Amino acid sequence: MKGFAMRKIGQTGWIEKERPQCGPLDAICKPLALAPCTSDIHTVWEGAVGERTDMILGHEGCAEIVEVGALVKDFKPGDRVLVPAITPDWNSVEAQAGFQMHSGGMLAGWKFSNFKDGLFGEFFHVNDPDGNVAHLPKNISTADACMLSDMVPTGFHGAELADVQYGDEVLVIGIGPVGLMSVAACALRGASRIMVVGTRPTCIEVAKS
C-alpha cells in the first residue's frame, strides 16, 4: 500500500509498505476523510518520541472498517467510524489506573504517527476498536465528523482545564482550528464575554459567529 510518511527528521514523501495485519482484537480501516495537524509538522521537524524513519503520518480522521478480528464485538466491515487521535491499550495497567494516555509507556496512548503508522495511508491499523472507534450516524458527513477526532476534544479539554464557568470572561489566544473549538466550548460553558487574539481573517469571522 502507499502512504505519506516521515522518511526521517526533516524529510517527507510517499512510500510503499505492506498492508497492516489484523489481530483478534484489532481492526483494519481505510480512510474516508483526513485532517493534517500541527503535530504532524512537529513530528517531521523534531521527531516523535525519538527518531522515526518511514513512518506514515496522520492521526485525525474518519474511516470505513474493512476487516475486524475474531474478538471484536461492536463493529463489522463496512461500518463508517470516527477514529480518535488517542487509542489506548484499555487492558493495560496504566489505563485501568486512569492513565490511558500513557498505556504501555510514556505517551503510548498516542500511537498514530508516534509509535506506529498513522492514517495517511491506503489502510491503517486500530487496536481495540470496541474501545477506540465510534459509529458515525448517517446524517453526519465524514468531513464534519473528522473535526471530532482531535480538534474538538483538544479545544474542549482546554476549556475544561481552564474551568470556564457561567458568566466568566475568557481570553483565547490563537484561533486556528483548536482555538476556534475552545471558543465554542467557552460559549457552551456559559462565558459572558469571549475575547480572541488571531490574525487570519477567515478565523476571525468564524470566531465572531
Whether 195 contacts 171, CB under 8 Å: yes
Predicted local distance difference test score (pLDDT) of residue 151: 92
d(CA 42, CA 10) in angstroms, rounded, equals 10
DSSP 50: B
The matching CATH number, chosen from 3.40.50.720, 3.20.20.330, 3.90.228.20, 3.40.50.2300, for 151-208 is 3.40.50.720
- Give the CATH number of domain 2-146: 3.90.180.10
* All structural domains of the chain with their residue ranges: 2-146, 151-208
Predicted local distance difference test score (pLDDT) of residue 3: 98
How does pLDDT run along the chain (209 residues), one tens digit per residue?
A: 999 999 999 999 999 999 999 999 999 999 999 999 988 888 898 877 777 899 999 999 999 999 999 999 999 999 999 999 999 999 899 999 999 889 888 888 899 998 899 999 999 999 999 999 999 999 999 999 999 999 999 999 999 999 999 999 999 999 999 999 999 999 999 999 999 999 999 999 999 88
Which residue from 90, 72, 86, 83 is spatially nearest to 24, judged by alpha carbons?
Answer: 72
d(CA 4, CA 142) in angstroms, rounded, equals 20
Whether 122 contacts 29, CB under 8 Å: no
